Copies of this chain bind each other. A is one copy, B any other.
Amino acid sequence: MEFREIVMSRYATKKFDGRKIPEGKVSELLELVRFAPSAINLQPWKIKVVTDQKVKEQLKPATWGQEQITSCSHLLVFCANPDFDSLIKKVGQLMKTSGVPEEARTMVIGIATDMTGKMSGEQKLCWAQSQLFLALGNAVNGARSLGFDSCPMGGFDPKEYARILEIPPPLVPTMLCPLGYAADKPMPKVRFPKEEIFF
């Protein structure tokens, strides 16, 4: 499927038909998410994959009763990870084992340390949360490319999600992405005209 067709046919699915996505397909999707870009390759996210129907039922009230949570096959809970000190160490190690020359590694680590060192706690969280939307974008486009559907969702109670799913701090549940096969039809895709967006 061409990327244009993916972008134009993808939509926020409000109801799934309950069928399970084969695990092989889900693994393919997770690879597309894992290879999303992020600034300085910090990958400041972790993603909880929820499949247990009982757990999804528990999460539904913390998602204002939205039906996608229980009718989906797999629920991805995108958590921001603002623990930059450990991310920087891990990226340094990753570059070393991947054969990146020391000079390049030192430069990247220096930039990352300098940039994140100046941020307040709130700024760190905002930054990690923003990057996470690149991974989310790959999830929604990736789902369509693999023949199933998704719904990016920000309307939920992150504290309740953290409690029910035992998500440890400093991870912050930020966006949801239920996956499955649509049981609804898309609304017409409407956007601001290009003259209002590009200047």
Interface centre among A1, A47, A154 (most CB of B within 10 A): A154
How far is A2 from B146 in the complex, measured between Cα atoms in Å? Answer: 10
Q: Which chain B residues lie closer than 8 Å to A137 at the CB level?
A: 36, 133-134, 137-138, 141
- Whether A54 sits at the interface, judged by CB under 8 Å, is no
Q: Of the listed stretches A16-24, A55-63, A188-196, name the one at the interface; the rest are far from the partner chain.
A: A188-196
- Whether A152 sits at the interface, judged by CB under 8 Å, is yes
- Whether A113 sits at the interface, judged by CB under 8 Å, is no
**Cβ of B154 and Cβ of A39 under 8 Å apart?**
yes
Q: Which chain B residues lie closer than 8 Å to A10 at the CB level?
A: 37
Given A34-B197, A126-B129, A152-B37, decide whether A90 and B192 contact each other with a Cβ distance below 8 A: yes
- Whether A122 sits at the interface, judged by CB under 8 Å, is yes
**Cβ of A197 and Cβ of B47 under 8 Å apart?**
yes
How far is A3 from B31 in the complex, measured between Cα atoms in Å? Answer: 12
Q: Which chain B residues lie closer than 8 Å to A192 at the CB level?
A: 34, 43, 90, 94
- Whether A48 sits at the interface, judged by CB under 8 Å, is yes
- Whether A169 sits at the interface, judged by CB under 8 Å, is no
Instruction: Report which A residues bind B (CB closer than 8 A).
Output: 1-4, 6-8, 10, 12, 28, 30-37, 39, 41, 43, 45-49, 90, 94-95, 98-100, 111, 115, 122, 126, 129-134, 136-138, 140-142, 145-146, 152, 154-155, 187-192, 194, 196-199
